[in-house]
Amino acid sequence: MSTMNVSLPDELKAFVDVQTVQGGFGSTSEFVRDLIRREQDRLHLRALLLDGAASPAGPIADDDYFATLRAGLSAKG
C-alpha cells in the first residue's frame, strides 16, 4: 500500500476528524478510502446511466409487458 500526504485547512481537517469518529472509522485513512471508493462507485453508476441513456429505447414496460414476462416464467416453472 502506498502513502499519500494531503494538506487540509483546519476546517476540513476538523470535519474529517468528526466524520471519522461518527462514521465508526478506525482512522482518517479509512474514512478517505471510503470516500474514494464511493466516488468510484458514483462514476461507475454515472457511466452506466449515460450508456443507458444513449442506448435505443426498449419495450414499454406496461401491464401487458409484465403479463408476458409472468406467463413466460410460469411456462418454464
Domain boundaries, the chain: 10-76
Provide the H-helix boundaries in the chain. Answer: 10-22, 28-54, 63-76
Q: What is the pLDDT of residues 15-72, one digit of tens each?
A: 999 999 999 999 999 999 999 999 999 999 999 999 999 999 998 999 999 999 999 9
pTM of the model: 0.72
76 pLDDT band, cuts 50/70/90, is confident
**Is 69 strand, coil or helix?**
helix
CA distances from 2 to 7, 27, 29, 33, 51 (A): 17, 16, 12, 12, 33
